A = this chain, B = another copy of it.
Amino acid sequence: MTFSTSPAERTVPVGLGARAYDILIGSGLLDRSATFGGLFANDTSALIVTNEKVGPLYAERLAAALRPHHASVQRLDLPDGEAHKTMATVERVFDVLLRGHADRRSVLYALGGGVVGDMAGFAAACFMRGIPFVQVPTTLLAQVDSSVGGKTGVNHPLGKNMIGAFHQPRRVVIDLDTLDTLPQRELVAGLAEVVKVAAVADAALFDWLEAHGDALLRRDRDALHHVVSASCRIKAAVVGEDEHESGRRAILNFGHTIGHAIEAGTGFGTWLHGEAVGCGMVLEAALSVRLGRLRDEELERITRVVGALRLPLRAPSMPVDRYLEFMRHDKKSQAGHLRVVLLEGLGHAALHPVNDDDVAAVLRAELTQA
């Protein structure tokens, strides 16, 4: 596949009334001061929250773009990785804010992947009961999923994202150039969330992914622009309908119930989040087939796409009961009963109560196949 024109800058609005904001998608946005204009009074202070890997690459460029908009720009590099997505790390953000005399009008900029975005967003949600923040996602996973929608939080040893808040960013700035420095393993992990939004909400995007997996893996800029824009557009629509996940938004958890069990069971950080979601989608699609909501051929198409994108297909070996235990801690569970997002044909999904026995049967079939 080839594209003849260079990708245009695009704006995707997220319609949330008083909390509405824009997602800007394009090249070279990070260095352009205008990207960050029109949001805050210029006597306010800014803190860039990033990590030890991303900070050295991009923080100075972001700081330069921000200086015209703020009285001061500080920076904090957190340790990298899901294992550090804890309350203890968030407390470091509070310490820096307070020592720097931050106030209620201070602004946090989350520069990095989903872990940085979730923690900086949660710090912004809680500091002085809420200060503004801006997402500047630099991984594909954060660009297509975690930076949009206002879910923030940290992990607990017993479960992922157990402690958190809904706190919408004031803007999301996606500079596609930052993907140039992304390790291939993380690029692939990000593609899992693209497969997810396609599987639950956009059959045409799913068809497109089947046709263009190679272009994505070799980082064709236009192909990446296409999936980032499409994912943001779908996510914005779902979040605009149901900000606090009381209904439809739950479909974005497809692959995540078993995925979270994989992450927690293997120790956070062993599997990348997207890898666990990729494997989780195949298993939850198999559960959808078992419960009569998805056809065998559709499960095969999902398995094929996940595999073609080089995502792991084999679930880690651990006792079925341990999977179930972690799944019962899932935020969608009610009174100890599992609820899982099931596909209802490709491009459609809904949250359903499921029996432990059905989940166990699917897991057992998978784990003995290896």
A residues in contact (CB < 8 Å) with B: 43-45, 71, 87, 91, 94, 98-99, 101, 103-105, 125-130, 151, 153, 156, 158-159, 161-166, 244, 328-329, 331-336
Shortest distance between the CB of A98 and any CB in chain B (Å)? 4
**8 extra interface residue pairs, beta carbon distance < 8 Å, beyond A87-B91, A103-B335, A126-B163:** A44-B335, A99-B158, A101-B336, A103-B336, A126-B126, A126-B153, A126-B164, A129-B166
Contacts of A151 in B (CB 8 A): 129
- The residue among A71, A101, A103, A328 with the most chain B CB atoms within 10 A of its own CB is A103
B128 & A162 in contact (Cβ 8 Å cutoff): yes
| 30 A-B contact pairs sorted by A residue (CB < 8 Å) | A45-B335, A71-B335, A87-B91, A94-B156, A94-B163, A98-B156, A99-B158, A101-B328, A101-B329, A101-B333, A103-B331, A103-B334, A104-B331, A104-B332, A104-B334, A105-B334, A105-B335, A126-B126, A126-B153, A126-B165, A127-B162, A128-B162, A128-B164, A129-B153, A129-B165, A129-B166, A129-B244, A130-B165, A130-B166, A130-B244
Task: Output the nearest chain B residue to A43 by Cβ-Cβ distance.
Answer: B335
Contacts of A128 in B (CB 8 A): 162, 164, 331
Contacts of A87 in B (CB 8 A): 87, 91
The 9 closest A-B pairs by CB, nearest first: A98-B158, A128-B331, A129-B164, A126-B163, A43-B335, A103-B333, A103-B334, A129-B166, A101-B336
Measured CA separation A22–B365 after assembly (Å): 52
| Other-chain contact of A159, B98, B125, B161 (Cβ < 8 Å) | B98
Measured CA separation A45–B166 after assembly (Å): 23
A165 & B165 in contact (Cβ 8 Å cutoff): yes
Contacts of A162 in B (CB 8 A): 94, 98, 127-128
